[in-house]
Structure 1
Amino acid sequence: MTADVTPRPGPLFSPVPRGAVLDGLDRSTLSRTTTDARFSVARIERLIATSIGIIGLVFGAQTLSIAIGSGIRVPGALGALYIAALLGMLGIVIALWFNPRAQRIANIVFAIVYLVGILLWPLATGGADAAGVDEPWTWYLCAIACASAAQAFKPALAVAYILVTPTVYGITGVMDDAGRLVRGDIALQNALYGSMIGLVIFALLMTFRHAASQVDAARAAAFERYDDAIRQHAREVERIEVDALVHDTVLASLQAADRARRPEAAALAVSMASDAIKRLAALDEPRADGAETATLQRLVSGLDLYAAALDTTFEIAVAPDSDVVIPYPVAQNLYLAATQAMANSAQHAGGADATAQINRTITVTACDSDGVSIEVSDDGVGFDRLAVEPNRLGLRVSIIERVVAVGGTVELDSEPGQGTTISIRWTPAEARASEGARS
């Protein structure tokens, strides 16, 4: 047996990356592709902020119309300031619908301003609306204030606000200029009704948040179990390889030595033992120094066969007259990553239209004289890169981890309606630099 560099026969395919490759991944690399622990919670918070913005816009417009139609009932500049403080702050809440964190601050301010506003209502109006049959225009902001408190405050404080604010509104709305309650039944009715609406909103928000947290926890646990399972499987595959190597070399050489009765038999035993030592020592060497190689043309042939298996047309181009030879484990991982990119294109490039005509290309070129670059692209529907979690299995495990494992890099370029391009690159120099950074 020799250690000469020879091409490996057979297809460029293996169900999982080899154990040593996975075990060599550094945690800093994995941390960039680990699922966001608050992915679903963040989406729910954006939905809540958007809902408050929409509802606030509807009720704010209604409130402004009623306030102007019925009269502010506050004289001079004070009246303008009163309505500007309430509706102006509500306008800020609406304007920040796209940013839950910023809207949270605005909601805190609006909730406080509203509570202060209804506390001052008898003084501002002089009790003019106390005996009226119509609700004051501030009533239409009560539900928005409770929703703002439910979104922005801690649960206990939010419940307290939701119970107190409608009660204050109910009392001050029917209080005359002498501080007497003109219609106590209306005050009780408004307090109960406002609190009920506020508590329903609070319960919905808490339910959505709890469900999102549970989904995130289950999702994170699933990713962790998947990572553990694939690494355990990879280690088992490597253990089997080592066991086979020990049986085929070490035990065989020991048996040959035990049976050696003549000089030539002893020489054979020594040769077998020497080969066993070399092969065991090679287990700790980088994969790029292994005995198996693959050519660029062979890699292209494998991609062509895979495209045929997908029954999807890919225009494959390769740099002519390229004699680049790369280590087989590298070629295998690049092949698996590229085929996953091809599968993603076949499945998703057409969007909802299964009959859409999509142009798909694969460009394989030599880079830096001894490396390889694979570009899988299509002119399909594309997608928003920022809206895609970086931890989808197709990207993280099947593409990113496989390429990073051998010291390569992956770049994703996609925009809605502009197609998608996945660029995979590997060179020996960059692989050595990546290995040095991990050591």
Structure 2
Amino acid sequence: MHLPVGRFVVALRCGGVAVAGLAAALNDDPGVSRGWQAAVFGVLAAWAAFFSLVALRRELTFPLVAGDALVVGAALALQDRLISREAVLDETTWGVMLAGTALFVVQTTMRPAAGVPLVVLIIAAYVAGAPAVTSFVRALIAEALVIGAVMALLRRGGRRADEAIRERDRDRLRAMVEAARRADERHQRVQLHDSVLAVLTMVGSGAVRTDTPGLRRAAARALDVLTDSAGPPPASGRDVDLMAALAELAATMAPDLEVDLDLDGEPPVELPEPVGLAIVGAAREALRNVRRHANVTRAAVRVHHRDGTVSVEITDRGAGFDMARVPGTRLGIRRSIVERMGLVGGAAEVTSRPSAGTKVALRWPDG
């Protein structure tokens, strides 16, 4: 909502100054000072430009809105030099327009605790500067009350909508956690069958000698699976410090693989537990693949964090492979990386070419 409200307020401020200036220029009453009009509207135009620039580049903060009320209030306090008494009595003054836009700016951007004093300031400045008191004062007060009531209703509805969205997100997160757990259980059973039980079967049947390199490699993979299964999960509901978790993961790869870990963006990178665990788990699988197949001793992990979006890239300059030739029975990339990220609303992409290295890109949220 900040962006559309900011644009509306900028249009209101610039349009109000422009229309008031045009109305003052078209009024040919000889009883006003053209010099004072030119000076005051020059200041108002400069302020409107500054106000617009700050409001669009940043947020509508209290100092900016209070500054707008003070600038407009100062102009209203000089009405006796800018508007004739006859024009005020005829209710053809542009001062009310200027005051009305200032009230809109305050009440659409500030909560009552901060906005009410500014509303009082604007109305008081109009009354103090007007050459005569007319029904316009009651109109300004009524406008302030109506806008305040409407904004109170909108803010109340907004809070309810925010709470409904938060509850929906909590339900979605709980569903993703449960789905991720079920997927991990399925994946664990598959890995136990493909690695641990296969190694035990080979040893028990005597199909291979126990000191062969192939059996040692298979046993190492089976040990990785058992190590993952043995560790208890972190306490549910806590955020995960992604950089700390990845640093711990990098340490487990030593001494066979040296991992360069780097953050590009906004620290700290704290993620909901299911998301953090999914990214770390996918990164673990990617680094294991580097250690097993890339024939290199170094890999890089780059974390990019901007505006709530996190991406992690695991790259190596190793042997690489042809994705089209990966057998369907190899589940590491598909389940441990791609499916794992998808279950928490993220995405994963693996790119590789023979002799050109491999890059695994993890992104959350997807889109």
Q: TM-score, normalised by structure 1?
A: 0.45
Pick one of 119, 138, 144 that aligns with 1:189.
138
Pick which of 207-216 and 245-254 moved more: 245-254
Cα RMSD (Å) of the superposition? Answer: 5.1
Report the counterpart of residue 96 of structure 2 in structure 1: 139
| 1:309-320 → structure 2 map (5 Å cutoff) | none
Q: Which has the higher contact order (CA 8 A, sep 6+)?
A: 1
Aligned-partner Cα distance in 1 for 2:9–2:195 = 67
Report the counterpart of residue 169 of structure 1 in structure 2: 126
Identical-residue share of aligned pairs (%): 12
Q: TM-score, normalised by structure 2?
A: 0.52
* 1:162 partner letter: V
Pick one of 84, 89, 104 that aligns with 2:47.
89
Report the counterpart of residue 232 of structure 1 in structure 2: 181
Report the counterpart of residue 118 of structure 1 in structure 2: 76
Q: Deviations over 1:104-138 (max 9, x none)?
A: 8754432220122223334x359735861214211
Contact 1:46–1:100 (8 Å) recurs in 2: no
| Shift, 1:139, TM fit | 0.7
Taking a change above 3 Å as real, the CA distance of residues 225 and 53 of structure 1, as seen in their structure-2 partners, is same
Aligned-partner Cα distance in 2 for 1:433–1:336 = 10
Contact 1:52–1:148 (8 Å) recurs in 2: yes
| 1:40-439 → structure 2 map (5 Å cutoff) | 44-71=1-28, 74-75=32-33, 77-93=35-51, 98-99=56-57, 101=59, 107-122=65-80, 124=81, 128-129=85-86, 132-153=89-110, 155-170=112-127, 172-173=129-130, 175=132, 183=134, 186=135, 188-200=137-149, 202-203=151-152, 206=155, 210=159, 213-214=162-163, 217-218=166-167, 221=170, 224-225=173-174, 227-241=176-190, 244=193, 248=197, 277=219, 280-281=222-223, 283=225, 286-287=288-289, 325-326=325-326, 328-329=330-331, 332=334, 397=346, 400=347, 402-403=348-349, 408=350, 424-425=351-352, 430-431=357-358
Aligned length: 266
Contact 2:12–2:105 (8 Å) recurs in 1: no
Aligned-partner Cα distance in 1 for 2:147–2:10 = 16
Aligned-partner Cα distance in 2 for 1:330–1:168 = 72
Aligned-partner Cα distance in 2 for 1:394–1:434 = 16
Contact 1:162–1:199 (8 Å) recurs in 2: no
* 1:280 partner letter: A
Taking a change above 3 Å as real, the CA distance of residues 102 and 233 of structure 1, as seen in their structure-2 partners, is same
Q: Which runs of 5+ in 1 are unaligned?
A: 1-43, 176-181, 257-264, 292-321, 338-390, 409-423
| Shift, 1:145, TM fit | 1.0
Contact 2:123–2:140 (8 Å) recurs in 1: yes
Contact 1:149–1:162 (8 Å) recurs in 2: yes
Q: Deviations over 1:140-194 (max 9, x none)?
A: 122321232235545411133224423542454354xxxxxx55xx265134223
Aligned-partner Cα distance in 2 for 1:329–1:269 = 25
Aligned-partner Cα distance in 2 for 1:63–1:116 = 15
Contact 2:176–2:343 (8 Å) recurs in 1: no
